[in-house]
Amino acid sequence: MPLHTNTAKPAVVLVALGVVFGDIGTSPIYTVATVFNPRDPHPVPLEHQNVYGVVSLIFWSIMLIVTLTYVTLVMRADNDGEGGIMALISLLRRWGAETHHRKALLLAGLGVFGASLFFGDSVITPAISVLSAIEGIEVVDPGFKNGIVPITVAVIVALFYVQRRGTAKVGRAFGPVMVAWFLAIAACGIRGIIGHPEILAALSPTYALGFAIGHFEIAFFALTAVVLAVTGAEALYADMGHFGRTAIVRGWLFIVLPALALNYLGQGALLIADPRAMSAPFFLLIPGWALWPMVLLATAATVIASQAVITGAFSVAAQAARLGYLPRLHVIHTSAEREGQVYVPWINGVLLVGVVALVLAFRSSQSLAYAYGMAVTGTITITTLLFFYYARTRWAWPLWAVLTGGGLLLVVDLLFVAANLTKFVHGAWLPLLIGVSAFTVMLTWYRGREIITAARQEAEGPLQDFITELRTREPPLIRVPATAVFLNRGRDTVPLAMRTCVEHTHVLHKHVLIVSVETLPMPRVPESERVQVDALGYKRDGIVFVTVNFGYMEKTHVLDVLRGLSTKQTEGKIVVDEASYFLSKLEMVRGRKKTMAQWRKRLFIATSHITADAAERFGLPRHRTVIMGSRIEV
């Protein structure tokens, strides 16, 4: 469950509007125009019957995929308040490990590919969203055409720069803008509907079904553009850890969904009244006096659209690191209320480079539209499959309900996937390439981590046996009058630096603290629960094990905690500021064992270089920190 219960407050809904709904909320800018784009390899003829069918298909796609699949069903599956496909993977892995269920573990692996596709979506969304809004300037004044790409790049760079301020602060700034945006697009939609109120008939599913069945050869290819109306659905789920399910559901049902429906209906009405509006139906729906303000508002809204997937990417990356699919990244928690609000500098930098590269390469939103749908449909399909499997096995949903409901939704999802595959050579290869690349990195890191962990545990050996061996060692170790602090991952094995120190120097400090740092799922840990000290079975030998607990909002500065330990706890007087701090650093090299292919070993070693610096993370004094390296073969 979410970490706090006030997610239904209007203020939280407002902030959620500023972060979560930007992507799906700005899709009207380019969706209808892309469907009827005459330069499309499979254009949809602009006829009255087709307009009704397309608008109905857009509306019911939103209802089935966003409202039913995500808002009503999938968002019920949270991992301690966290959402997104990585949360589903975590739930399936936990369930599979508890029950030794191989299918659950295999599906978790499929989910990793879905998460990888989401990274492709996170690169494409800022590019297409901001480009589509800036292109509105061309509608106002064609002379601005050459400035579209430079302005887009400048806006994107500014967006990524402000990410360090945190999701909540960004959301508070963006929330009122998105309220104005949804009110504006709803008003424009109503203006179009008044001109042709018959378009309201498109709300009936019969038009969508009639278009899909009666003109399947047209409707099938139209799905490649219709899917643009549901982009951002996964972002709703991925950002659930930022704001909680209730705020997102209320924002969707009471603000976002009505505004989107009205605007799509209004664009359909405009095309029926004036087919020449096909070039830019969204902007041509706006009255002339409001065109410039709306272009500016659209630009702000598409910046916010990018925010939705950027924060989603931060959440997915942070969860992937916790699950062992990525190295330990430098993650900054930006809220004391919600653990899910994070900023990941490395991911932010990679996304910035990728987005700018796409803008410079494709240079128009319509060119990027072909690439957009593949990542979205792939992630949606995998999420749907994982959810219904989890609902059946974990929640014991009736088989008939899973087969009927899940089967219907998967058929819809797979139709979108099949349609987008027809655009493979026109750009759909791009998100697949990004997804496959990210998937390869994540699986390689997971496998390499297993190999290294097993080798490290063998090299370290059991901690309790090592302590007993020290007491019976002949000749006894020389104990020098000083304090050593060894950072360790847990209490089961010996710190590699400690074993290396003893074996090579035959010397041990008089006072030894083996420290393990744990980060708990709470913003701040009470001081009464901060430290646990264990003598490891032998008192007065000067060796103690210290477990230090921090909340996720707290700086994991070990020295501050060690200063508060009593002489009794440390089995003697220690001076923390004069102690020596030892870290174990592994140098990974390619070995001859056939644990992985050689190219995967190279990839694993290269990926290890982005691991966050341990000394900085634990607040250790650089001039008193000793890093002892060990070589382990992959």
Over range 261-287, report the average pLDDT: 93
Domain membership of residue 80 (yes or no) is: yes
174 & 91 share domain: yes
Say what the pLDDT of residue 171 is. 59
Average pLDDT over residues 317-333: 79
Task: Tell whether 361 and 241 lie within a shared domain.
Answer: yes
Taking alpha carbons only, the member of 154, 150, 148, 153 closest to residue 134 is 148
Residues 340 and 390 in one domain: yes
Which pLDDT does position 341 carry in this prediction? 61
What pLDDT score was predicted for residue 544? 92
Backbone angles phi, psi at 169, to 5 degrees: -65, -40
Are 408 and 540 found together in one domain?
A: no
What pLDDT does 277 receive?
87
| 340 has a pLDDT exceeding 70 | no
Domain containing 577 equals 461-633
Q: Which residues pair with 342 in a beta bridge?
A: 333
Residues 144 and 242 in one domain: yes
Quick check: is 6 in a domain? no
* DSSP three-state, residue 627: strand
Whether residues 373 and 494 fall in one domain: no
Question: What is the 3-state secondary structure of 357-374?
Answer: HHHHHHCCHHHHHHHHHH
- Note whether 436 and 501 are same-domain residues: no
User: Binning pLDDT at 50, 70 and 90, where does residue 5 land?
Assistant: very low
Percent of the chain with pLDDT over 90: 33
26 occurs within a structural domain: yes
pLDDT at 232 over 90: no
Most confident of 40-44, 331-335, 515-519, 613-617: 515-519
Quote the CA–CA distance of 212 and 137 in Å, as a whole number: 35
Q: In this structure, what is the dihedral angle of CA atoms 607, 608, 609, 614, given to the nearest 10 degrees?
A: 140
Over residues 483-495, mean pLDDT: 89
pLDDT score, position 408: 94
Distance between CA 618 and CA 138 in Å, rounded? 52
pLDDT tens by residue, 577-610: 899 999 988 788 888 888 888 999 999 999 988 8
pLDDT at 335: 57
Same domain assignment for residues 403 and 259: yes
Pair 44, 193 in one domain:
yes
**CA pair distance 511, 485, nearest whole angstrom:** 8
Domain membership flag for residue 2: no
Q: Do 257 and 301 fall within a single domain?
A: yes
Assign 13 a pLDDT band (cuts: 50, 70, 90). Answer: confident
Residue 1 lies in a domain: no
pLDDT at 99: 63
User: What Å distances lie between residue 625 and 482, 579, 622, CA to CA?
Assistant: 14, 9, 5
Does residue 558 fall inside a structural domain? Answer: yes
The rounded distance, in Å, linking the Cα atoms of 604 and 589 is 10
**Ranges 5-19, 150-164, 244-258, 450-464: which has the least confidence:** 5-19
Q: Tens digit of pLDDT for each residue in 429-451?
A: 888 888 899 999 999 999 998 89
Nearest to 226 by CA among 21, 108, 50, 364: 50
Name the band, by pLDDT with cuts 50, 70 and 90, for residue 2: very low
Last residue of a domain, one of 387, 413, 447: 447
Which of the 8 DSSP states describes residue 339? T
pLDDT exceeds 80 at position 367: no
- Nearest-angstrom CA–CA distance, 632 and 460: 12
588 Cβ contact list (under 8 Å, min separation 6): 448, 452, 604, 605, 608, 631, 632, 633, 634
The CATH code of the domain that includes 400 is 1.20.1740.10
pLDDT of residue 120: 83
pLDDT at 23: 80
Which of 447, 476, 491 is the last residue before a domain boundary? 447
**Cα distance between residue 541 and residue 476, in whole Å:** 12
Q: Please state, in angstroms and rounded to a whole number, the distance separating the CA atoms of residues 579 and 573.
A: 11
Task: Sort residue 633 into left (φ over 0), alpha (ψ -120 to 50) or beta.
Answer: beta
Residue 222: its pLDDT value, please? 92
**pLDDT of 76-112, one tens digit each?**
888 777 777 877 887 887 776 666 666 766 777 788 8
Spatial distance between the Cα atoms of 236 and 182, rounded to a whole number of angstroms: 17
Determine, yes or no, domain membership for 151. yes
Residue 5 lies in a domain: no
Per-residue model confidence (pLDDT) at position 378: 87
Domain boundary residue, one of 399, 423, 447: 447
Q: b or e along 85-99 (b: 16 or more beta carbons within 10 Å of the residue's beta carbon)? A: bbbbbbbbbebbeee
> Looking at residue 527, what is its pLDDT?
87
- Are residues 204 and 244 located together in one domain of the fold? yes
Whether the CB-CB separation of 7 and 244 falls below 8 Å is answered with: yes
Task: State phi, psi for 516 to the nearest 5 degrees.
Answer: -115, 130
pLDDT at 1: 34
Mean pLDDT of 6-33: 80
- Does the pLDDT of residue 456 top 90, yes or no? no
Whether 129 and 169 share a structural domain: yes
Work out how many domains the chain is built from and give that number. Answer: 2
